[in-house]
């Protein structure tokens, strides 16, 4: 990562806001535990500093998607902390998974067979979760597969089943009828394994007004994204992003701006260009439709977003706000990750996970130091 003195944009990740969100979710989920989903480098925010802050706050259960992510993550966690791999086991990956002390989420009868065979061979009990497909048709055992295991318990020989999970397809739509249908199916199938912990809710599900079984698996809500569409977002913002102005200019009437000269005005304009583009995860889709904020004033993106830069229409702003090196808010108090996602026709998950590697990154604890924003990592 570039140093903040020379970087063209500064990404700030507020670990205190993360912890505030964790505590909020704990209160909503109780008595269920809150597990943290830190896949995709904690949605782009840095899995190591995020997991360290969450363990300090009392979180003991973590989920990643890939085994390779678990290998990178395991040394950061203590042996008291559970690390699950959502995508389960690739053929032949069971030895690496067991050696790493990661717990696979077994998604098929073949994966159950692989894990059990390893446990028997190693004469060791190996922990695992089972995922049940209750209607999303993505990953997991079918209810029929579960019945097969339930009648032939030998299939789980050597396996220490610590968790049964399923995943909701429509948890971000609180009134979608599929939510209740999936929960009913989950309860029926999980009844084959009395006493084993159960988990079905992601962030959206955690805000649904009902019980949450034994554990929720929270991702986007920890990172400040809105868990449910069309409802006010109760989460604290975790990410802010400020880009530096490289230069500004006065553009005469009828002169085009950017690739394709697509942005043209009948009036003279003033523009400012920043060093953030689609290679930094700022969606190209935001050309001529996205916004930024300078001293709290909204300015529009003019023309196409380039790979490494984009231009703002700053007509009417005084020179002193446009000095090269001064900061423009891309994410912050005036513009959330959900606002940007809406402008780009996507979801906050995609905005976060694409955030670029060319930004300077500070993990800060804002509340702990109140006015003084301190560097932590």
Catalog residues that contact ligand PLP under the rule CB under 6 A: 37, 39, 86, 167, 202-204, 217-221
Give min distance, CB of 204 to ligand PLP, in A: 6
327-331 and 239-251 beta bridge pairing: antiparallel
* SS3 call for 159: strand
167 or 269: whose CB is closer to ligand PLP?
Answer: 167
Cα separation, 179 vs 167, in Å, equals 10
Tokens for 24? 């909020």
Give min distance, CB of 37 to ligand PLP, in A: 4
Give min distance, CB of 188 to ligand PLP, in A: 19
25 or 97: whose CB is closer to ligand PLP?
Answer: 25
Of the residues 188, 223, 259, 278, only one is catalytic, namely: 259
Residue 349 known to be catalytic: no
* SS3 call for 64: strand
Rg for the chain, CA atoms, rounded: 24
Residues across the chain: 377
217 or 358: whose CB is closer to ligand PLP?
Answer: 217
Burial class (CB in 10 A: 0-12, 13-18, 19+), 193: middle
69 or 242: whose CB is closer to ligand PLP?
Answer: 69
223 or 278: whose CB is closer to ligand PLP?
Answer: 223
Of the residues 22, 39, 223, 349, only one is catalytic, namely: 39
Residue in the structure block whose two tokens are 């990661």: 102
Residue 259 known to be catalytic: yes
Cα–Cα distances in Å, from 338 out to 58, 111, 233, 335?
Answer: 28, 37, 9, 8
Give min distance, CB of 335 to ligand PLP, in A: 21
User: How many Cα atoms are found within 13 Å in the side-chain-facing hemisphere of 312?
Assistant: 30
Cα separation, 131 vs 166, in Å, equals 5
Residue in the structure block whose two tokens are 């005084």: 318
Give min distance, CB of 182 to ligand PLP, in A: 12
Give min distance, CB of 114 to ligand PLP, in A: 20
Query: Which residue of this chain has its Cβ atom nearest to ligand PLP in the complex?
Result: 219
49 or 219: whose CB is closer to ligand PLP?
Answer: 219
Cα separation, 186 vs 178, in Å, equals 12
**C-beta of residue 358 within 8 angstroms of C-beta of residue 278:** no
* SS3 call for 13: strand
Active-site residues, by number, are 39, 259
């Amino acid at each position: 990562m570039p140093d903040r003195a020379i970087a063209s944009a500064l990404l700030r990740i507020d670990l205190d806001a993360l912890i505030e969100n964790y505590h909020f979710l704990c209160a909503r989920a109780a008595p269920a535990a809150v597990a943290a989903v830190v896949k995709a480098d904690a949605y782009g925010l840095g899995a190591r500093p995020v997991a360290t802050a969450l363990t300090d706050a009392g979180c003991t259960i973590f989920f990643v998607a890939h085994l390779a992510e678990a290998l990178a993550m395991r040394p950061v966690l203590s042996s008291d902390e559970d690390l699950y791999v959502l995508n389960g086991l690739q053929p032949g990956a069971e030895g690496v998974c067991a050696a790493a002390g990661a717990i696979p989420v077994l998604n098929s009868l073949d994966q159950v067979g692989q894990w059990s065979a390893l446990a028997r061979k190693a004469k060791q009990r190996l922990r695992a979760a089972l995922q049940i497909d209750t209607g999303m048709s993505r990953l997991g055992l079918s209810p029929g597969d579960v019945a097969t295991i339930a009648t032939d318990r030998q299939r789980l020989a050597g396996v220490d089943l610590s968790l049964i999970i399923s995943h909701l397809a429509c948890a971000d739509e609180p009134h979608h009828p599929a939510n209740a249908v999936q929960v009913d199916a989950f309860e029926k199938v999980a009844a084959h394994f009395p006493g084993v912990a159960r988990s079905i809710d992601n962030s959206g599900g955690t805000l649904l007004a009902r019980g949450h079984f034994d554990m929720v698996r929270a991702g986007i809500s920890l990172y400040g994204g809105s868990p449910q569409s069309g409802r006010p977002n109760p989460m604290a913002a975790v990410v802010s992003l400020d880009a530096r102005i490289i230069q500004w200019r006065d553009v005469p009437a009828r002169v085009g701006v950017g690739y394709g000269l697509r942005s043209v005005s009948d009036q003279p304009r003033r523009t400012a260009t920043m060093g953030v583009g689609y290679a930094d995860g700022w969606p190209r889709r935001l050309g001529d439709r996205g916004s930024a904020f300078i001293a709290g004033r909204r300015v529009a993106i003019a023309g196409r977003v380039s790979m490494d830069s984009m231009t703002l229409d700053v007509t009417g702003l005084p020179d002193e706000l446009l000095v090269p090196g001064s900061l423009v808010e891309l994410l912050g108090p005036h513009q959330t990750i959900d606002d940007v996602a809406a402008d780009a026709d996507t979801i906050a998950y995609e905005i976060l996970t694409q955030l670029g590697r060319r930004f300077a990154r500070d993990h800060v604890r804002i509340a702990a130091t109140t006015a003084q924003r301190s560097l932590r990592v």
